[in-house]
């Protein structure tokens, strides 16, 4: 397989973490970085041994030596960067949440389909071996018919209205940053979402501190999900069936094992091996699929991303949360 050459846009926290996992991925090279500031790009390139550092996003997008663009900006900046990459025929891996709004997601998906280029949401949890093991155990019927899931992602962060986690103009709030994980996983296990009901707690600046989300899926399975920044929680995710239940552990969004609890049997634990910091799995999938000329991932298809974004937008509307896409200056 020819080497697939990647470029990262944005030099923040997740870009640094994911960059380290490229060394675990056969056939992939992280070759370039782009920042709004040349000095930050230089620093990033030096830290990760990259050959090219650009002081504008446009320069990386125009680099013919880049096959895949990894978009690691705040959520409202995903849409414009992804659209610019698609226009240039480059494959794109877009950080979660895919966009700030459902309409923004539709624009990106429509553009990708029109142009016939690969686009995937970086929902790394779906690629974790423990989650894939849980999917197999469900498919084998070990816990009977699945009737619902319960999940929480309550991860305490000190409120700082200047941080993208809390800044309204940067898509701040628990819903897009944390809620996307249990909603996406519930959809992965239970399928199409028919109804959504949501309750939220807001900070004084109008972004959400936490949300409780109830969903009804096709076939009447039910999801009960919570996310929050202003508390602490175990990060549990349980798949409940008519003959038992599975827990994805220890924190479901980057798990290492599952426990299968079947009525009348001792619990069975399946341990799994996570590669790198856990991002190598999604990077390997994108690298393999782009090399093969695919335009979507069967594990994280664009229809699922759109459905998750529809739920998140619905929750935002129900809770009075105002989410907007940003206009990005590509430099
Ligand atoms: N998969 C995961 O585990 C995971 C974990 C954390 C975050 N994420 C996702 O990754 C994305 C980035 O999160 P992060 O925590 O890395 O954010 P961050 O630390 O704030 O970094 C975001 C980067 O985006 C660039 N950027 C472009 N426009 C910006 C603007 N108007 N304001 C601020 N920065 C801007 C900046 O890079 P330059 O200045 O260099 O251009 C900045 O360093 C989010 O969508 C988030 O949900 C995913």
Confidence of residue 278 (pLDDT cuts 50, 70, 90): very high
> Where, residue-wise, is CATH 3.40.50.720 in the chain?
4-124+279-300
CA-CA-CA-CA dihedral for 99, 100, 102, 103, to nearest 10: -90
- The mean pLDDT value of the chain amounts to 98
Separation between Cα atoms, residue 244 and residue 209, nearest integer Å: 33
- Closest residue by Cα to atom 43, ligand 1, is 12
> Do the beta carbons of residue 149 and residue 238 sit within 8 Å?
yes
Separation between Cα atoms, residue 152 and residue 190, nearest integer Å: 16
User: How large is the average pLDDT for residues 273-292?
Assistant: 98
Separation between Cα atoms, residue 278 and residue 263, nearest integer Å: 32
Ligand 1 pocket at CB < 6 A: 10-15, 35-37, 40, 72-75, 77, 95-96, 122, 124, 164, 170, 177
Query: 287 CA to middle of ligand 1, Å?
Result: 22
Query: 321 CA to middle of ligand 1, Å?
Result: 20
The DSSP H or E segment spanning 324 is none
- Closest residue by Cα to atom 6, ligand 1, is 14
Query: 140 CA to middle of ligand 1, Å?
Result: 39
The yes-or-no verdict on residue 2 having pLDDT over 90 is: no
- Mutation pick for ligand 1 pocket among 95, 124, 331 (CB with most ligand atoms within 8 Å): 95
pLDDT, tens digit (0-9, with 9 covering 90-100), for 125-141? 999 999 999 999 999 99
Which pTM does this prediction carry?
0.98
pLDDT, tens digit (0-9, with 9 covering 90-100), for 168-215? 999 999 999 999 999 999 999 999 999 999 999 999 999 999 999 999
> Where, residue-wise, is CATH 3.30.360.10 in the chain?
129-271
pLDDT, tens digit (0-9, with 9 covering 90-100), for 106-123? 999 999 999 999 999 999
Ligand 1 atom closest to Cα of 10? Answer: 37
Nearest to 198 by CA among 174, 214, 187, 217: 214
Confidence of residue 147 (pLDDT cuts 50, 70, 90): very high
CA-CA-CA-CA dihedral for 109, 193, 156, 12, to nearest 10: -10
CATH of domain 129-271: 3.30.360.10
Unique residue bearing structure tokens 């549990």: 236
Query: 296 CA to middle of ligand 1, Å?
Result: 24
The greatest distance separating any two alpha carbons of the chain, rounded to the nearest whole angstrom, comes to 63
CATH of domain 4-124+279-300: 3.40.50.720
> Do the beta carbons of residue 126 and residue 188 sit within 8 Å?
yes
Ligand 1 atom closest to Cα of 176? Answer: 47
Query: 165 CA to middle of ligand 1, Å?
Result: 9
Ligand 1 atom closest to Cα of 326? Answer: 31
- Closest residue by Cα to atom 31, ligand 1, is 170
The pLDDT of residue 1: 62
């Amino acid at each position: 397989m020819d080497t697939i050459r990647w470029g990262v846009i944005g030099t923040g926290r997740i870009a640094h973490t994911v960059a380290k996992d490229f060394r675990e991925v056969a056939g992939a090279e992280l070759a370039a970085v782009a920042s709004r500031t040349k000095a930050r790009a230089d620093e990033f390139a030096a830290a990760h041994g990259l050959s090219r550092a650009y002081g504008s996003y446009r320069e990386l997008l125009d680099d013919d030596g880049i096959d895949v663009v990894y978009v690691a900006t705040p959520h409202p900046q995903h849409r414009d960067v992804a659209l610019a990459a698609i226009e240039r025929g480059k494959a794109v891996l877009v950080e979660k949440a895919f966009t700030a709004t459902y309409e923004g997601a539709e624009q990106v998906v429509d553009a990708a389909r029109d142009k016939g280029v690969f686009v995937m949401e970086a929902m790394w949890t779906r690629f974790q071996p423990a989650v894939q093991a849980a999917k197999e155990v469900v498919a084998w019927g070990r816990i009977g018919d699945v009737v619902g899931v319960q999940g929480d992602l309550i991860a305490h962060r000190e409120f700082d209205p200047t941080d993208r986690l809390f800044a309204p103009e940067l898509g701040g709030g628990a819903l897009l940053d944390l809620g996307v994980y249990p909603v996406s996983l519930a959809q992965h296990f239970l399928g199409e979402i028919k109804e959504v009901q949501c309750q939220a707690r807001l900070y004084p600046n109008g972004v959400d501190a936490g949300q409780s989300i109830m969903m009804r899926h096709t076939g009447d399975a039910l999801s009960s999900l919570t996310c929050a920044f202003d508390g602490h929680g175990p990060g549990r995710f349980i798949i409940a069936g008519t003959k038992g239940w599975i827990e994805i552990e220890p924190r479901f969004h980057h798990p290492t094992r599952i426990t299968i609890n079947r009525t009348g049997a001792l619990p069975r634990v399946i341990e799994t091996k996570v590669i790198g910091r856990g991002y190598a799995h999604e990077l390997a999938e994108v690298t393999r699929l782009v090399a093969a000329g695919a335009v979507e991932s069967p594990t994280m298809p664009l229809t699922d991303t759109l459905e998750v974004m529809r739920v998140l937008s619905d929750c935002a509307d129900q809770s009075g949360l105002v989410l907007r896409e940003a206009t990005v200056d590509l430099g």
